[in-house]
């Protein structure tokens, strides 16, 4: 037998080529194993919550047989912020019923942060003004305006939003879109800059970005947010965009394409659409980017405006805006893309940009109507809503507005008062804008704007009492959660109530209640305190007050029945609302359920309420036991429990104030 080690290779026997079927099996195995591993990893990550896109509108549960509560999901756009997943844009949580109640006209407003109403609170957003105006124009009809406005997105993510919206029985879709085509998510110059791709490729990119593996990888790579930088700063991917940059043409192309897709989606579902141009601060805001041409043209515009040449000033202001190398404002090309999309797809146009220029004192839109670059003042919110109402004259029933009814609507100030303007929300807006104009490039180019809002804040702070100033500072330090912070109005109302300024507190609690969504523990809290103030002012609750408390109790029962309360606040305020209705025994299990979730002052307040219910229900020994335990175990709060013990002894526990 020959030794292979000493045999020349040429003399060794050779094997024939693999059969074709074996080659195919080998290739399939070689390729299939990695694919299988990737699929297993994808499945595993999806089991832990990665992957896909949350619904913009989700069902929260059944309120009554055949009646479902739907919620606008604040964080639904988070996957679109793949380059900054820890600091995404948000919508406001809003709720509505499905199927739509009889006699209701349902309107969805789709857009970005300007449509959302930022920096105004929700009760002063354009959607609130629109609802109030339509209720006046359509007496006897119920009007819903569901605001889908989402911060920091370009138009592409909104296409998917409209696809969901049309499945929820709208009578009208209003599109106020076009402010974020450069720096929004999927914008052409943002940190998420995939907007430079052909429009046909964006859905493919969206599908890839929906993979769990990709989302998990992004979360690891972009692990933390820079808390010292605003979302506005974080979204900038390319800070200088020349006037002849192809990014400008791409932005207009994207906006026109996506608006056309939204219109066709709605029309395909048989839903009328109103397309709006978007307004920007043309005469008040100096160009934000580098370069002398835009700044020089802006100064030309100021001189022309000073000379009374409105037409010349308007043209110069628009030139300066278009030449701005940091286009946070829409430009002529994107504005014209909106008009062209509306015309090409047969949708009525509401030309808010043109309307605002006519209203502007210098021939262009300015500080009267806008608070910053694209976000509207209270008057601007109202004027935008009024422009929409007037444009609805061209729509078919049931959303057609009679021209006579539109002309008879009150002045915008009347609606602002009705919806709850107040000095504390003015301060809230001024502080928000003080932060915005403190962003380095904003402060460098528009120092007067920073001084304007900083001065307004300082002036109002000088009028605040020390306790109110303290809660203002506390509000400033509050973190945004799911697109919202606790309203400053509610925090100030608590101080006013403690100071026995009950009428003022009641007014602010009513406003705070309108600034948070229904089916939310804050809504229960503000409803309770509003009614507690009314009881103190009037001596008792009337029938409408008791009915309001009953509806709030039903909201709380829904929250608790569907697992939407982790803090114990829902249980606490359901119990307190039942007490306002005189249902002392029924309140006890809710207050008892709240106690384990409470701590510090909240626990003391809960115990005060529970003691009151025990006494009124004839369970004095339970009240004494609870109070004695508090004396032993509550540390620095022991004196409060000792006072409660003394009150029980005097039979005066029921005098405990609302907390």
Contacts of 262 (CB under 8 A, 6+ apart): 110, 155, 158, 159, 162, 173, 175, 177, 273
Contacts of 646 (CB under 8 A, 6+ apart): none
| Cβ proximity of 333 and 249 under 8 Å | yes
Look at residue 473 and tell me whether its pLDDT is greater than 90: yes
| CA pair distance 391, 381, nearest whole angstrom | 16
| CA pair distance 492, 472, nearest whole angstrom | 8
| CA pair distance 265, 257, nearest whole angstrom | 12
- Of 86, 93, 111, 257, which is closest to residue 178 (Cα–Cα)? 111
Look at residue 655 and tell me whether its pLDDT is greater than 60: no
Say if residue 398 is preceded by a cis peptide, omega within 30 of 0: yes
11: tokens are 């003399």
**Mean pLDDT calculated for residue range 164-187:** 96
- Token look-up 């608006």 returns 259
- Of 178, 218, 353, 187, which is closest to residue 282 (Cα–Cα)? 353
Which H or E run contains 113? helix 113-116
- In this prediction, residue 497 carries a pLDDT of 97
Q: How are beta strands 349-350 and 273-276 bridged, if at all?
A: parallel
DSSP assigned state of 150: B
Rounded to the nearest 5°, which phi and psi values hold at 142? -90, 130
- Summarize pLDDT for 240-273 with one digit per residue, the tens: 899 999 999 999 999 999 999 999 999 999 999 9
Which H or E run contains 342? helix 332-344
Under the banding of pLDDT at 50, 70 and 90, the label for residue 482 is: very low
Please give the biggest Cα pair distance in the chain. 116
Look at residue 149 and tell me whether its pLDDT is greater than 50: yes
- In this prediction, residue 24 carries a pLDDT of 73
DSSP assigned state of 120: S
Rounded to the nearest 5°, which phi and psi values hold at 371? -90, -25
Q: Which fold has domain 64-419?
A: Rossmann fold (3.40.50)
- Summarize pLDDT for 451-461 with one digit per residue, the tens: 999 999 999 99
Of 45-54, 175-184, 385-394, 617-626, the poorest mean pLDDT is in 45-54
Rounded to the nearest 5°, which phi and psi values hold at 20? -60, -40
Tell me the CA end-to-end span of the chain in Å, nearest whole number.
101
For CATH 3.40.50.1110, the residue range(s) in the chain are 64-419
Look at residue 229 and tell me whether its pLDDT is greater than 90: no
Q: Residue 399 half-sphere exposure, CB side, CA atoms within 13 Å?
A: 25
**Mean pLDDT calculated for residue range 93-107:** 96
Contacts of 581 (CB under 8 A, 6+ apart): 541, 546, 549, 550, 553
- Of 250, 266, 328, which is closest to residue 110 (Cα–Cα)? 266
**Coil/strand/helix, residue 185:** strand
Q: What percent of the chain has pLDDT over 70?
A: 91
| CA pair distance 5, 20, nearest whole angstrom | 31
- In this prediction, residue 193 carries a pLDDT of 64
Q: How far is CA 362 from CA 281, 304, 323, 356, 569, in A?
A: 12, 9, 19, 11, 51
- Summarize pLDDT for 563-612 with one digit per residue, the tens: 888 889 999 999 999 999 999 999 999 999 999 999 999 999 999 999 99
Say if residue 99 is preceded by a cis peptide, omega within 30 of 0: yes
Of 177-191, 192-206, 574-588, the poorest mean pLDDT is in 192-206
Q: Residue 97 half-sphere exposure, CB side, CA atoms within 13 Å?
A: 15
Contacts of 514 (CB under 8 A, 6+ apart): 122, 123, 419, 420
| Cβ proximity of 178 and 330 under 8 Å | yes
Under the banding of pLDDT at 50, 70 and 90, the label for residue 127 is: very high
Contacts of 74 (CB under 8 A, 6+ apart): 90, 91, 92, 93, 482, 483, 484
Under the banding of pLDDT at 50, 70 and 90, the label for residue 167 is: very high
| CA pair distance 305, 543, nearest whole angstrom | 58
Under the banding of pLDDT at 50, 70 and 90, the label for residue 27 is: confident
DSSP assigned state of 479: P
DSSP assigned state of 58: E
| CA pair distance 129, 299, nearest whole angstrom | 35
- In this prediction, residue 310 carries a pLDDT of 97
Q: Which residue stretches of 345-485 are H helix?
A: 352-359, 378-391, 403-407, 412-419, 423-436, 440-445, 447-461, 466-477
| CA pair distance 234, 87, nearest whole angstrom | 8
Of residues 478 and 605, more confidence is placed in 605
- In this prediction, residue 148 carries a pLDDT of 98
Over its C-alpha atoms, the chain yields an Rg (Å, rounded) of 30
473: tokens are 């500072």
- Of 348, 358, 350, which is closest to residue 311 (Cα–Cα)? 358
Please state, rounded to an integer, the average pLDDT across all residues of the chain.
Answer: 91
Of 203-207, 327-331, 377-381, 412-416, the poorest mean pLDDT is in 203-207
Q: Which of 80-94, 166-180, 217-231 has the highest mean pLDDT?
A: 166-180
For CATH 1.25.40.10, the residue range(s) in the chain are 423-655
Q: At what angle do helices 488-498 and 466-477 cross, to 10 degrees?
A: 150
Encode burial over 343-358: b for 16+ CB neighbours within 10 A, e otherwise.
eebebebbbbbbbbbe
Look at residue 226 and tell me whether its pLDDT is greater than 90: no
**Mean pLDDT calculated for residue range 630-657:** 83
Task: Give the Cβ contact number of residue 533 at 10 Å.
Answer: 24
Under the banding of pLDDT at 50, 70 and 90, the label for residue 484 is: low
Of residues 290 and 15, more confidence is placed in 290
Encode burial over 466-492: b for 16+ CB neighbours within 10 A, e otherwise.
eebeebbeebeeeeeeebbebbbbbbb
**Mean pLDDT calculated for residue range 506-526:** 97
Look at residue 192 and tell me whether its pLDDT is greater than 80: no
Q: In CATH terms, is domain 423-655 a member of 1.25.40.10?
A: yes
Task: Determine what percent of the chain falls in helix, strand and coil, rounding each to the nearest 5.
Answer: 55, 10, 35
Look at residue 105 and tell me whether its pLDDT is greater than 90: yes
């Amino acid at each position: 037998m020959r030794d292979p080690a000493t045999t020349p290779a040429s003399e060794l026997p050779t094997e024939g080529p693999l059969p074709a079927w074996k080659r195919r099996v080998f290739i399939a195995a070689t390729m299939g194993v990695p694919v299988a591993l990737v699929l297993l990893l994808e499945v595993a990550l999806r089991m832990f919550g990665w992957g896909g896109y949350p619904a913009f509108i989700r069902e929260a549960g059944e309120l009554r047989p055949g009646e479902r509560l739907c919620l606008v999901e604040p964080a639904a756009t988070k996957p679109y912020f793949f380059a900054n997943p820890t600091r995404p844009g948000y919508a406001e949580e809003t709720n509505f019923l499905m199927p739509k109640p009889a006699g209701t006209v349902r309107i969805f407003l789709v857009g970005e942060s300007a449509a959302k109403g930022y920096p105004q609170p929700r009760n002063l957003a354009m959607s609130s003004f629109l609802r109030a105006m339509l209720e006046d124009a359509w007496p006897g009809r119920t009007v819903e305006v569901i605001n889908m406005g989402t911060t920091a997105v370009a138009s592409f993510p909104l296409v998917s939003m409209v696809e969901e919206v049309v499945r929820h029985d709208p009578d009208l879709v209003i599109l106020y879109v076009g402010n974020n085509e450069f720096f929004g998510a999927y914008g052409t110059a943002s940190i998420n800059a995939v907007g430079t791709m052909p429009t046909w490729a964006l859905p493919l990119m969206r599908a890839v970005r929906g993979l769990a593996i990709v989302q998990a990888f992004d979360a690891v790579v972009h692990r933390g947010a820079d808390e010292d930088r605003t979302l506005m700063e974080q979204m900038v991917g390319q800070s200088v965009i020349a006037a002849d940059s192809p990014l400008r043409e791409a932005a207009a192309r994207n906006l026109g394409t996506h608006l056309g897709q939204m219109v066709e989606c709605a029309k395909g579902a048989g839903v009328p659409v109103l397309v709006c141009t978007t307004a920007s601060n043309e005469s008040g805001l100096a160009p934000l980017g580098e370069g002398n041409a835009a700044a020089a043209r802006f100064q030309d515009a100021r001189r022309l405006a000073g000379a009374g040449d409105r037409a010349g000033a308007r043209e110069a202001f628009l030139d300066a805006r278009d030449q701005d190398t940091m286009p946070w404002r829409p430009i002529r090309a994107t504005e014209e893309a909106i008009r062209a999309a509306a015309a090409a797809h047969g949708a009525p146009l509401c030309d808010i940009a043109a309307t605002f220029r006519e209203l502007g004192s210098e021939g262009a839109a300015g500080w009267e109507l806008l608070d910053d670059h694209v976000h509207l003042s209270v008057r601007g919110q109202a004027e935008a809503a009024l422009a929409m109402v007037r444009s609805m004259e061209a729509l078919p029933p049931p959303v057609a507005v009679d021209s006579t009814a539109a002309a008879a609507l009150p002045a915008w100030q009347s609606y602002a008062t009705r919806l709850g303007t107040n000095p504390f929300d003015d301060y809230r807006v001024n502080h928000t804008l003080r932060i915005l104009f403190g962003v380095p490039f904003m402060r460098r180019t528009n120092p007067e704007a920073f001084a304007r809002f900083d001065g307004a804040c300082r002036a109002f702070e000088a009028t605040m009492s020390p306790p109110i100033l303290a809660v203002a500072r506390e509000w400033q330090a509050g973190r945004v959660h799911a697109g919202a912070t606790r309203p400053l109005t509610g925090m100030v109302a608590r101080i006013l109530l403690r100071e026995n300024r009950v009428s003022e507190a009641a007014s602010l609690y009513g406003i705070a209640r309108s600034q948070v969504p229904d089916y939310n523990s804050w809504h229960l809290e503000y409803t309770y305190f509003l009614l507690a103030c009314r009881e103190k002012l009037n001596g008792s609750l009337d029938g409408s007050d008791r009915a309001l408390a009953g509806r709030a109790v039903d909201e709380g029962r829904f929250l608790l029945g569907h697992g939407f309360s982790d803090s114990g606040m829902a249980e606490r305020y359901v119990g307190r609302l039942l007490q306002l209705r005189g249902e002392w025994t029924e309140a006890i299990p809710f207050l008892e359920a709240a106690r384990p979730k409470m701590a510090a002052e909240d626990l003391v307040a809960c115990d005060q309420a529970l003691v009151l219910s025990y006494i009124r229900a004839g369970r004095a020994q339970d009240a004494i036991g609870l109070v004695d335990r508090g004396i032993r175990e509550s540390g620095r709060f022991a004196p409060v429990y000792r006072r409660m013990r003394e009150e029980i002894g005097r039979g005066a526990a029921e005098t405990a104030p609302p907390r």
